[in-house]
Amino acid sequence: MEKGFERPLLGDMSPEEFRVAGYSLVDWITRFLSEIGDYPVFPTVKPGEFASRLPAVAPDQGEAMAEILKDIDSLMPFMTHWNHPRFFAYFNSSASGPGILADLLTAALSPNAMLWQSCPAATELELVTLAWLRGLLGLPEDYFGIIHDTASTSTLHAVIAAREAASDLRIRELGMAGRGDLPALRVYCSEQTHSSFDKAVLSAGLGEASIRRVAVDDLFRMRVDAFEEALREDLASGARPLCAVATVGTTSCTAIDPVDEIASICERYKVWLHVDAAHAGPVAMLPEARHLFKGWERADSIVLNPHKWMFVPLDLSVLYTRRREAFLRAFSFVPEYLRTEQQAENLMDYGIPLGRRFRALKLWFVLRYFGADGMAARLREHLALARDFAGWIDAQPDFERMAAVPLSTVCFRAHPTGLDESELDALNERLMHSLNATGRIFLSHTRLNGQYVLRLVVSHLRTRDEDIAEAERLLLEKLKELRR
Ligand SMILES: *Cc1c(COP(=O)(O)O)cnc(C)c1O
Protein backbone atom coordinates (compact mmCIF):
# COMPACT_ATOMS: atom_id res chain seq x y z
CA MET A 1 0.00 0.00 0.00
CA GLU A 2 1.22 3.43 -0.90
CA LYS A 3 2.39 5.51 1.99
CA GLY A 4 -0.12 8.06 3.13
CA PHE A 5 -3.11 6.52 1.34
CA GLU A 6 -5.63 4.25 3.02
CA ARG A 7 -7.24 2.18 0.31
CA PRO A 8 -10.99 2.45 0.99
CA LEU A 9 -12.81 -0.90 1.22
CA LEU A 10 -15.45 0.29 -1.18
CA GLY A 11 -15.86 3.10 -3.69
CA ASP A 12 -13.21 4.98 -5.65
CA MET A 13 -9.74 6.24 -4.73
CA SER A 14 -9.76 9.19 -2.34
CA PRO A 15 -9.70 12.74 -3.71
CA GLU A 16 -6.23 13.28 -2.23
CA GLU A 17 -4.84 10.12 -3.84
CA PHE A 18 -6.40 11.18 -7.15
CA ARG A 19 -4.81 14.61 -6.90
CA VAL A 20 -1.32 13.21 -6.26
CA ALA A 21 -1.55 10.56 -9.01
CA GLY A 22 -3.13 13.07 -11.38
CA TYR A 23 -0.34 15.63 -10.99
CA SER A 24 2.24 12.92 -11.36
CA LEU A 25 0.61 11.70 -14.60
CA VAL A 26 0.39 15.25 -15.97
CA ASP A 27 4.09 15.70 -15.13
CA TRP A 28 4.87 12.48 -17.00
CA ILE A 29 2.87 13.62 -20.05
CA THR A 30 4.51 17.06 -19.99
CA ARG A 31 7.97 15.49 -20.05
CA PHE A 32 6.89 12.96 -22.69
CA LEU A 33 5.57 15.62 -25.05
CA SER A 34 8.66 17.78 -24.64
CA GLU A 35 11.00 14.83 -25.32
CA ILE A 36 8.88 12.93 -27.84
CA GLY A 37 11.36 13.59 -30.67
CA ASP A 38 14.07 11.68 -28.79
CA TYR A 39 12.03 8.46 -28.62
CA PRO A 40 12.33 5.90 -31.42
CA VAL A 41 9.25 6.57 -33.54
CA PHE A 42 8.98 2.91 -34.54
CA PRO A 43 9.69 -0.04 -32.20
CA THR A 44 12.05 -2.84 -33.21
CA VAL A 45 10.29 -5.66 -31.37
CA LYS A 46 8.70 -8.99 -32.25
CA PRO A 47 5.01 -9.91 -32.06
CA GLY A 48 4.18 -11.34 -28.62
CA GLU A 49 7.28 -9.88 -26.95
CA PHE A 50 5.37 -7.32 -24.92
CA ALA A 51 2.52 -9.67 -23.95
CA SER A 52 5.05 -12.23 -22.70
CA ARG A 53 6.28 -9.72 -20.10
CA LEU A 54 2.84 -9.28 -18.57
CA PRO A 55 1.22 -11.49 -15.93
CA ALA A 56 -1.20 -14.05 -17.42
CA VAL A 57 -3.98 -13.18 -14.96
CA ALA A 58 -5.30 -10.00 -13.39
CA PRO A 59 -4.09 -9.13 -9.87
CA ASP A 60 -6.10 -10.38 -6.86
CA GLN A 61 -4.99 -7.54 -4.64
CA GLY A 62 -5.19 -3.91 -5.70
CA GLU A 63 -1.86 -2.29 -6.52
CA ALA A 64 -0.57 1.12 -5.53
CA MET A 65 -1.19 3.84 -8.10
CA ALA A 66 2.52 4.74 -7.94
CA GLU A 67 3.38 1.19 -9.08
CA ILE A 68 0.94 1.37 -11.97
CA LEU A 69 2.30 4.76 -13.09
CA LYS A 70 5.86 3.43 -12.92
CA ASP A 71 4.94 0.84 -15.53
CA ILE A 72 4.05 3.49 -18.13
CA ASP A 73 7.74 3.55 -19.02
CA SER A 74 7.67 -0.18 -19.72
CA LEU A 75 5.19 0.47 -22.54
CA MET A 76 7.49 2.88 -24.35
CA PRO A 77 9.79 0.42 -26.14
CA PHE A 78 6.67 -1.18 -27.62
CA MET A 79 4.99 2.00 -28.79
CA THR A 80 4.77 3.23 -32.35
CA HIS A 81 4.77 6.91 -31.48
CA TRP A 82 1.98 8.67 -33.36
CA ASN A 83 2.74 11.90 -31.52
CA HIS A 84 6.30 11.91 -32.86
CA PRO A 85 7.32 14.79 -35.17
CA ARG A 86 8.87 12.32 -37.64
CA PHE A 87 5.86 10.01 -37.91
CA PHE A 88 5.38 10.34 -41.68
CA ALA A 89 3.44 7.10 -42.27
CA TYR A 90 -0.19 6.36 -43.26
CA PHE A 91 -2.19 9.49 -42.52
CA ASN A 92 -0.89 10.51 -39.14
CA SER A 93 -2.94 11.85 -36.27
CA SER A 94 -1.44 14.17 -33.69
CA ALA A 95 -2.89 14.85 -30.27
CA SER A 96 -2.54 18.50 -29.24
CA GLY A 97 -2.35 19.72 -25.65
CA PRO A 98 -5.90 21.11 -25.61
CA GLY A 99 -7.19 17.87 -27.12
CA ILE A 100 -5.41 15.75 -24.51
CA LEU A 101 -6.77 17.86 -21.66
CA ALA A 102 -10.28 17.69 -23.10
CA ASP A 103 -10.11 13.89 -23.29
CA LEU A 104 -9.17 13.79 -19.60
CA LEU A 105 -12.18 15.95 -18.79
CA THR A 106 -14.43 13.80 -20.99
CA ALA A 107 -13.44 10.76 -18.96
CA ALA A 108 -14.04 12.63 -15.71
CA LEU A 109 -17.51 13.80 -16.73
CA SER A 110 -18.23 10.60 -18.65
CA PRO A 111 -21.73 11.52 -19.78
CA ASN A 112 -23.65 9.57 -22.37
CA ALA A 113 -24.69 11.74 -25.32
CA MET A 114 -27.43 9.38 -26.52
CA LEU A 115 -30.40 11.65 -25.72
CA TRP A 116 -30.68 15.38 -25.21
CA GLN A 117 -31.77 14.80 -21.62
CA SER A 118 -29.02 12.25 -20.99
CA CYS A 119 -26.66 15.23 -21.28
CA PRO A 120 -27.87 18.53 -22.74
CA ALA A 121 -24.34 20.00 -22.78
CA ALA A 122 -22.92 17.07 -24.77
CA THR A 123 -25.74 17.10 -27.30
CA GLU A 124 -25.77 20.85 -27.79
CA LEU A 125 -21.99 21.22 -27.88
CA GLU A 126 -21.89 18.57 -30.62
CA LEU A 127 -24.46 20.50 -32.66
CA VAL A 128 -22.72 23.85 -32.09
CA THR A 129 -19.11 22.76 -32.71
CA LEU A 130 -20.16 20.95 -35.90
CA ALA A 131 -21.96 24.10 -37.07
CA TRP A 132 -18.74 26.08 -36.35
CA LEU A 133 -16.69 23.56 -38.30
CA ARG A 134 -19.20 23.57 -41.15
CA GLY A 135 -18.76 27.35 -41.37
CA LEU A 136 -14.96 27.08 -41.37
CA LEU A 137 -15.13 24.51 -44.17
CA GLY A 138 -17.45 26.72 -46.24
CA LEU A 139 -20.25 24.15 -46.35
CA PRO A 140 -23.87 25.32 -46.70
CA GLU A 141 -26.03 25.63 -43.59
CA ASP A 142 -28.34 22.78 -44.52
CA TYR A 143 -25.63 20.25 -43.62
CA PHE A 144 -26.32 18.53 -40.33
CA GLY A 145 -23.33 16.99 -38.57
CA ILE A 146 -22.86 14.07 -36.24
CA ILE A 147 -19.73 12.71 -34.56
CA HIS A 148 -18.62 9.09 -34.92
CA ASP A 149 -15.47 7.29 -33.86
CA THR A 150 -13.87 6.75 -37.29
CA ALA A 151 -14.43 7.44 -40.97
CA SER A 152 -15.17 3.74 -41.43
CA THR A 153 -18.15 4.11 -39.10
CA SER A 154 -19.24 7.39 -40.72
CA THR A 155 -19.11 5.83 -44.18
CA LEU A 156 -21.01 2.74 -43.02
CA HIS A 157 -23.78 5.03 -41.80
CA ALA A 158 -23.79 6.92 -45.11
CA VAL A 159 -24.06 3.70 -47.15
CA ILE A 160 -26.93 2.40 -45.01
CA ALA A 161 -28.68 5.76 -45.25
CA ALA A 162 -28.24 5.69 -49.05
CA ARG A 163 -29.81 2.22 -49.07
CA GLU A 164 -32.74 3.48 -46.98
CA ALA A 165 -33.12 6.61 -49.11
CA ALA A 166 -34.38 4.18 -51.77
CA SER A 167 -37.41 3.71 -49.52
CA ASP A 168 -39.48 2.11 -52.30
CA LEU A 169 -37.26 -0.98 -51.86
CA ARG A 170 -38.68 -1.32 -48.31
CA ILE A 171 -35.44 -2.80 -46.99
CA ARG A 172 -36.02 -1.46 -43.49
CA GLU A 173 -39.37 -3.26 -43.35
CA LEU A 174 -38.66 -6.47 -45.25
CA GLY A 175 -34.88 -6.88 -45.30
CA MET A 176 -33.15 -8.24 -48.40
CA ALA A 177 -33.11 -11.99 -47.85
CA GLY A 178 -35.43 -14.23 -49.85
CA ARG A 179 -36.88 -11.45 -51.98
CA GLY A 180 -37.35 -12.05 -55.67
CA ASP A 181 -38.71 -8.52 -56.14
CA LEU A 182 -35.43 -6.69 -55.41
CA PRO A 183 -33.31 -5.62 -58.37
CA ALA A 184 -29.52 -6.06 -58.29
CA LEU A 185 -28.18 -3.13 -56.24
CA ARG A 186 -25.09 -1.21 -57.36
CA VAL A 187 -22.60 1.14 -55.67
CA TYR A 188 -19.72 3.01 -57.34
CA CYS A 189 -16.20 3.82 -56.24
CA SER A 190 -12.84 4.18 -57.96
CA GLU A 191 -9.84 1.87 -58.02
CA GLN A 192 -8.29 4.21 -55.44
CA THR A 193 -11.24 4.41 -53.02
CA HIS A 194 -10.44 3.51 -49.41
CA SER A 195 -11.24 -0.03 -48.26
CA SER A 196 -13.60 1.35 -45.60
CA PHE A 197 -16.13 1.83 -48.40
CA ASP A 198 -15.90 -1.85 -49.35
CA LYS A 199 -16.33 -2.79 -45.70
CA ALA A 200 -19.34 -0.50 -45.40
CA VAL A 201 -20.94 -2.10 -48.44
CA LEU A 202 -20.31 -5.58 -47.03
CA SER A 203 -21.67 -4.58 -43.61
CA ALA A 204 -24.78 -3.07 -45.21
CA GLY A 205 -25.55 -6.47 -46.71
CA LEU A 206 -25.12 -5.30 -50.30
CA GLY A 207 -22.38 -7.81 -51.10
CA GLU A 208 -19.15 -7.55 -53.07
CA ALA A 209 -21.08 -8.11 -56.30
CA SER A 210 -22.74 -4.70 -55.89
CA ILE A 211 -19.44 -2.81 -56.12
CA ARG A 212 -18.46 -1.20 -59.44
CA ARG A 213 -14.83 -0.09 -59.27
CA VAL A 214 -14.41 2.72 -61.79
CA ALA A 215 -11.08 3.20 -63.58
CA VAL A 216 -8.84 6.18 -62.76
CA ASP A 217 -6.88 8.57 -64.99
CA ASP A 218 -3.12 9.18 -64.95
CA LEU A 219 -3.51 11.37 -61.84
CA PHE A 220 -5.37 8.53 -60.05
CA ARG A 221 -8.71 10.41 -60.20
CA MET A 222 -11.99 8.67 -60.92
CA ARG A 223 -12.72 8.78 -64.66
CA VAL A 224 -16.07 10.49 -65.03
CA ASP A 225 -16.74 8.97 -68.45
CA ALA A 226 -16.14 5.47 -67.08
CA PHE A 227 -18.42 6.22 -64.13
CA GLU A 228 -21.28 7.31 -66.36
CA GLU A 229 -20.75 4.33 -68.65
CA ALA A 230 -20.98 1.94 -65.68
CA LEU A 231 -24.21 3.62 -64.57
CA ARG A 232 -25.73 3.33 -68.04
CA GLU A 233 -24.73 -0.31 -68.32
CA ASP A 234 -26.26 -1.13 -64.94
CA LEU A 235 -29.51 0.70 -65.69
CA ALA A 236 -29.78 -1.06 -69.05
CA SER A 237 -29.44 -4.42 -67.32
CA GLY A 238 -32.17 -3.56 -64.80
CA ALA A 239 -29.85 -2.99 -61.81
CA ARG A 240 -30.54 -0.21 -59.30
CA PRO A 241 -27.69 2.27 -58.63
CA LEU A 242 -27.75 3.37 -54.97
CA CYS A 243 -24.70 5.44 -54.21
CA ALA A 244 -21.27 6.58 -55.31
CA VAL A 245 -18.25 7.72 -53.34
CA ALA A 246 -15.93 10.47 -54.49
CA THR A 247 -12.68 11.05 -52.60
CA VAL A 248 -10.89 14.30 -51.94
CA GLY A 249 -7.43 13.10 -50.93
CA THR A 250 -7.20 9.37 -51.62
CA THR A 251 -5.25 7.29 -49.17
CA SER A 252 -2.46 6.15 -51.50
CA CYS A 253 -1.46 9.47 -53.05
CA THR A 254 -4.12 12.11 -52.13
CA ALA A 255 -5.67 12.18 -55.60
CA ILE A 256 -8.62 14.55 -55.91
CA ASP A 257 -11.64 13.05 -57.66
CA PRO A 258 -13.56 15.53 -59.88
CA VAL A 259 -16.32 15.90 -57.29
CA ASP A 260 -18.26 18.57 -59.15
CA GLU A 261 -18.61 16.47 -62.30
CA ILE A 262 -19.37 13.35 -60.28
CA ALA A 263 -22.06 15.33 -58.41
CA SER A 264 -23.71 16.33 -61.69
CA ILE A 265 -23.91 12.71 -62.78
CA CYS A 266 -25.22 11.61 -59.38
CA GLU A 267 -27.93 14.27 -59.58
CA ARG A 268 -28.87 13.23 -63.11
CA TYR A 269 -29.18 9.54 -62.20
CA LYS A 270 -30.50 10.15 -58.66
CA VAL A 271 -27.59 8.41 -56.98
CA TRP A 272 -26.54 9.27 -53.41
CA LEU A 273 -23.13 10.98 -53.40
CA HIS A 274 -20.85 10.36 -50.44
CA VAL A 275 -17.65 12.42 -50.32
CA ASP A 276 -14.73 10.86 -48.46
CA ALA A 277 -12.45 13.66 -47.27
CA ALA A 278 -11.33 11.75 -44.17
CA HIS A 279 -7.78 13.09 -44.33
CA ALA A 280 -7.99 16.16 -46.53
CA GLY A 281 -11.24 17.72 -45.23
CA PRO A 282 -9.69 20.32 -42.90
CA VAL A 283 -7.74 21.84 -45.82
CA ALA A 284 -11.08 23.26 -47.07
CA MET A 285 -10.54 25.89 -44.35
CA LEU A 286 -7.90 27.48 -46.60
CA PRO A 287 -9.49 29.79 -49.20
CA GLU A 288 -6.59 29.11 -51.59
CA ALA A 289 -7.28 25.33 -51.41
CA ARG A 290 -11.07 25.42 -51.48
CA HIS A 291 -11.10 24.72 -55.24
CA LEU A 292 -9.93 21.16 -54.52
CA PHE A 293 -13.31 20.56 -52.88
CA LYS A 294 -15.45 22.09 -55.61
CA GLY A 295 -18.75 20.23 -55.75
CA TRP A 296 -18.62 18.68 -52.28
CA GLU A 297 -21.31 21.16 -51.26
CA ARG A 298 -23.63 19.12 -53.52
CA ALA A 299 -22.99 15.81 -51.72
CA ASP A 300 -25.62 13.89 -49.78
CA SER A 301 -23.03 13.04 -47.16
CA ILE A 302 -19.43 13.99 -46.37
CA VAL A 303 -16.92 12.48 -43.96
CA LEU A 304 -13.82 14.11 -42.50
CA ASN A 305 -11.68 13.15 -39.52
CA PRO A 306 -10.59 15.92 -37.15
CA HIS A 307 -8.46 13.19 -35.54
CA LYS A 308 -6.33 13.11 -38.67
CA TRP A 309 -5.42 16.68 -39.58
CA MET A 310 -6.98 18.88 -36.91
CA PHE A 311 -4.84 17.82 -33.95
CA VAL A 312 -7.72 16.19 -32.07
CA PRO A 313 -6.70 12.93 -30.33
CA LEU A 314 -8.14 9.71 -31.74
CA ASP A 315 -10.99 9.22 -32.14
CA LEU A 316 -13.26 11.81 -33.75
CA SER A 317 -14.81 11.57 -37.21
CA VAL A 318 -17.48 13.95 -38.51
CA LEU A 319 -20.29 12.95 -40.82
CA TYR A 320 -22.22 15.77 -42.49
CA THR A 321 -25.46 15.17 -44.35
CA ARG A 322 -28.26 17.14 -45.92
CA ARG A 323 -30.44 13.98 -45.90
CA ARG A 324 -31.33 13.73 -42.25
CA GLU A 325 -34.60 11.94 -43.04
CA ALA A 326 -32.71 9.02 -44.65
CA PHE A 327 -30.62 8.60 -41.50
CA LEU A 328 -33.74 8.64 -39.35
CA ARG A 329 -35.38 6.07 -41.59
CA ALA A 330 -32.26 3.91 -41.35
CA PHE A 331 -31.48 4.19 -37.65
CA SER A 332 -34.24 5.69 -35.52
CA PHE A 333 -35.75 3.12 -33.22
CA VAL A 334 -36.97 4.23 -29.82
CA PRO A 335 -37.83 1.72 -27.10
CA GLU A 336 -40.18 2.83 -24.32
CA TYR A 337 -37.47 3.50 -21.73
CA LEU A 338 -35.77 6.03 -24.04
CA ARG A 339 -38.90 8.07 -24.80
CA THR A 340 -38.55 11.65 -23.59
CA GLU A 341 -40.73 14.73 -23.20
CA GLN A 342 -38.60 17.36 -24.89
CA GLN A 343 -38.73 18.59 -28.43
CA ALA A 344 -34.99 18.19 -28.81
CA GLU A 345 -32.38 16.45 -30.92
CA ASN A 346 -31.61 12.95 -29.66
CA LEU A 347 -28.40 12.01 -31.41
CA MET A 348 -28.93 8.27 -30.95
CA ASP A 349 -31.60 8.59 -33.67
CA TYR A 350 -28.97 9.10 -36.37
CA GLY A 351 -26.78 6.07 -35.86
CA ILE A 352 -26.11 2.57 -34.64
CA PRO A 353 -24.58 3.19 -31.20
CA LEU A 354 -26.86 4.07 -28.33
CA GLY A 355 -24.14 5.13 -25.91
CA ARG A 356 -22.11 8.04 -27.29
CA ARG A 357 -18.93 9.58 -25.85
CA PHE A 358 -18.72 13.31 -25.25
CA ARG A 359 -16.28 13.75 -28.15
CA ALA A 360 -17.45 17.27 -28.99
CA LEU A 361 -15.60 18.50 -25.91
CA LYS A 362 -12.17 17.96 -27.50
CA LEU A 363 -13.30 19.56 -30.76
CA TRP A 364 -14.48 22.56 -28.75
CA PHE A 365 -11.17 22.86 -26.86
CA VAL A 366 -9.08 22.48 -30.02
CA LEU A 367 -11.10 24.90 -32.18
CA ARG A 368 -11.01 27.53 -29.43
CA TYR A 369 -7.36 27.06 -28.51
CA PHE A 370 -5.96 27.30 -32.06
CA GLY A 371 -8.70 29.44 -33.56
CA ALA A 372 -9.42 29.43 -37.27
CA ASP A 373 -6.23 31.43 -37.92
CA GLY A 374 -3.99 29.11 -35.90
CA MET A 375 -5.46 26.06 -37.59
CA ALA A 376 -5.00 27.60 -41.06
CA ALA A 377 -1.40 28.62 -40.32
CA ARG A 378 -0.52 25.03 -39.36
CA LEU A 379 -2.21 23.53 -42.42
CA ARG A 380 -0.38 26.03 -44.66
CA GLU A 381 2.92 25.13 -43.06
CA HIS A 382 2.34 21.43 -43.80
CA LEU A 383 1.51 22.13 -47.45
CA ALA A 384 4.67 24.25 -47.77
CA LEU A 385 6.93 21.66 -46.09
CA ALA A 386 5.59 18.95 -48.41
CA ARG A 387 6.16 21.17 -51.45
CA ASP A 388 9.76 21.68 -50.34
CA PHE A 389 10.28 17.96 -49.83
CA ALA A 390 8.78 17.18 -53.25
CA GLY A 391 11.16 19.73 -54.77
CA TRP A 392 14.08 18.07 -52.99
CA ILE A 393 13.05 14.63 -54.34
CA ASP A 394 12.77 16.10 -57.85
CA ALA A 395 16.31 17.45 -57.58
CA GLN A 396 17.87 14.13 -56.48
CA PRO A 397 19.38 12.05 -59.28
CA ASP A 398 18.70 8.78 -57.42
CA PHE A 399 15.09 9.47 -56.43
CA GLU A 400 11.95 10.11 -58.41
CA ARG A 401 8.48 11.38 -57.56
CA MET A 402 5.66 8.95 -58.36
CA ALA A 403 2.54 11.14 -58.11
CA ALA A 404 1.42 14.74 -58.08
CA VAL A 405 1.34 16.51 -54.69
CA PRO A 406 -1.99 18.35 -54.50
CA LEU A 407 -1.83 18.27 -50.67
CA SER A 408 1.05 17.29 -48.38
CA THR A 409 1.68 13.62 -49.15
CA VAL A 410 4.72 12.91 -51.31
CA CYS A 411 4.93 9.57 -53.14
CA PHE A 412 8.41 8.72 -54.34
CA ARG A 413 10.96 5.97 -54.76
CA ALA A 414 14.67 5.45 -55.09
CA HIS A 415 15.55 4.95 -58.74
CA PRO A 416 19.26 4.50 -59.28
CA THR A 417 20.18 3.66 -62.87
CA GLY A 418 20.62 0.11 -64.09
CA LEU A 419 17.86 -1.65 -62.12
CA ASP A 420 14.76 -3.30 -63.58
CA GLU A 421 11.27 -2.90 -62.11
CA SER A 422 11.40 -5.92 -59.81
CA GLU A 423 14.84 -4.90 -58.51
CA LEU A 424 13.50 -1.39 -57.88
CA ASP A 425 10.56 -2.82 -55.92
CA ALA A 426 12.91 -4.91 -53.79
CA LEU A 427 15.32 -2.02 -53.25
CA ASN A 428 12.59 0.37 -52.14
CA GLU A 429 11.07 -2.15 -49.80
CA ARG A 430 14.48 -2.71 -48.19
CA LEU A 431 15.06 1.03 -48.08
CA MET A 432 11.82 1.62 -46.19
CA HIS A 433 12.52 -1.13 -43.66
CA SER A 434 16.04 0.09 -43.05
CA LEU A 435 14.81 3.67 -42.59
CA ASN A 436 12.12 2.60 -40.15
CA ALA A 437 14.61 0.41 -38.25
CA THR A 438 16.64 3.53 -37.41
CA GLY A 439 13.77 4.66 -35.18
CA ARG A 440 14.46 8.19 -36.45
CA ILE A 441 11.62 8.31 -38.99
CA PHE A 442 8.59 6.21 -39.83
CA LEU A 443 7.37 5.90 -43.43
CA SER A 444 4.78 3.65 -45.05
CA HIS A 445 4.32 2.48 -48.61
CA THR A 446 1.73 1.90 -51.30
CA ARG A 447 1.67 0.61 -54.84
CA LEU A 448 0.90 2.91 -57.77
CA ASN A 449 0.59 1.34 -61.21
CA GLY A 450 1.96 -1.82 -59.65
CA GLN A 451 5.17 -0.15 -58.46
CA TYR A 452 6.35 -0.11 -54.86
CA VAL A 453 6.22 3.50 -53.67
CA LEU A 454 7.22 5.22 -50.42
CA ARG A 455 4.94 7.84 -48.89
CA LEU A 456 5.95 10.79 -46.73
CA VAL A 457 2.97 12.56 -45.18
CA VAL A 458 3.32 16.02 -43.63
CA SER A 459 0.24 16.63 -41.50
CA HIS A 460 1.63 16.32 -38.01
CA LEU A 461 1.26 19.13 -35.49
CA ARG A 462 4.87 18.67 -34.35
CA THR A 463 6.64 18.30 -37.71
CA ARG A 464 9.06 21.16 -38.51
CA ASP A 465 11.55 21.75 -41.30
CA GLU A 466 14.40 20.16 -39.33
CA ASP A 467 12.36 16.93 -39.27
CA ILE A 468 12.05 16.96 -43.05
CA ALA A 469 15.79 17.67 -43.30
CA GLU A 470 16.45 14.62 -41.10
CA ALA A 471 14.30 12.46 -43.40
CA GLU A 472 16.27 13.72 -46.41
CA ARG A 473 19.60 13.01 -44.72
CA LEU A 474 18.53 9.47 -43.80
CA LEU A 475 17.18 8.73 -47.28
CA LEU A 476 20.55 9.52 -48.82
CA GLU A 477 22.51 7.68 -46.13
CA LYS A 478 20.44 4.47 -46.23
CA LEU A 479 20.28 4.34 -50.01
CA LYS A 480 24.09 4.64 -50.14
CA GLU A 481 24.42 1.80 -47.59
CA LEU A 482 22.06 -0.46 -49.53
CA ARG A 483 23.82 0.21 -52.82
CA ARG A 484 27.18 -0.79 -51.39
C1 LIG B 1 -8.06 7.22 -43.14
C2 LIG B 1 -9.06 7.15 -44.19
C3 LIG B 1 -10.23 6.38 -44.03
C4 LIG B 1 -10.46 5.52 -42.81
O5 LIG B 1 -10.48 6.27 -41.65
P6 LIG B 1 -10.78 5.64 -40.22
O7 LIG B 1 -11.17 6.81 -39.40
O8 LIG B 1 -9.50 5.02 -39.76
O9 LIG B 1 -11.85 4.63 -40.36
C10 LIG B 1 -11.17 6.41 -45.04
N11 LIG B 1 -10.98 7.13 -46.17
C12 LIG B 1 -9.87 7.86 -46.37
C13 LIG B 1 -9.71 8.65 -47.63
C14 LIG B 1 -8.87 7.90 -45.38
O15 LIG B 1 -7.78 8.63 -45.57
Would the CB of 312 count as within 6 Å of ligand 1?
no
Residue nearest to ligand 1 atom 14, measured at CA: 278
Decide if pLDDT at 143 tops 60: yes
Amino acid letter, residue 368: R
Burial of 288 (0-12, 13-18, 19+ CB in 10 A): exposed
Decide if pLDDT at 3 tops 70: no
Of 337, 359, 332, nearest in space to 348 by CA? 332
Q: What is the pLDDT of residues 252-309, one digit of tens each?
A: 999 999 999 999 999 999 999 999 999 999 999 999 999 999 999 999 999 999 999 9
Would the CB of 192 count as within 6 Å of ligand 1?
no
| Pocket mutation for ligand 1, best pick of 220, 279, 314, 316 (most atoms within 8 Å of C-beta) | 279
| Confidence (pLDDT) at 341 | 85
Q: Give the mean pLDDT of the chain.
A: 96
- What is the distance in A from the centroid of ligand 1 to the CA of 170? 30
Q: What is the pLDDT of residues 379-420, one digit of tens each?
A: 999 999 999 999 999 999 999 999 999 999 999 999 999 999
Beta bridge partners of 310: none
pLDDT band at 1 (very low <50, low <70, confident <90, very high): very low
Decide if pLDDT at 4 tops 70: no
- What is the distance in A from the centroid of ligand 1 to the CA of 196? 7
Would the CB of 123 count as within 6 Å of ligand 1?
no
Q: How many residues comprise the chain?
A: 484
- What is the distance in A from the centroid of ligand 1 to the CA of 384? 23
Would the CB of 91 count as within 6 Å of ligand 1?
yes
Mark out the alpha helices in 36-96 (DSSP H runs). Answer: 65-70, 72-75
Distance CA(355)–CA(391), nearest Å, equals 48
- What is the distance in A from the centroid of ligand 1 to the CA of 460? 16
Phi-psi region of 175 (alpha: psi -120 to 50; beta: other; left: phi over 0): left
| Pocket mutation for ligand 1, best pick of 195, 196, 315 (most atoms within 8 Å of C-beta) | 196
* Measured CA angle at 249 (ends 245, 253), to 5 deg: 115
Distance CA(346)–CA(324), nearest Å, equals 13
- What is the distance in A from the centroid of ligand 1 to the CA of 470? 28
* Complete DSSP assignment for 404-444: --SSSEEEEEE--TT--HHHHHHHHHHHHHHHHHTSS-B-E
Q: Which atom of ligand 1 is nearest to the CA of 251?
A: 15
| Confidence (pLDDT) at 285 | 98
| Confidence (pLDDT) at 251 | 96
Phi-psi region of 170 (alpha: psi -120 to 50; beta: other; left: phi over 0): left
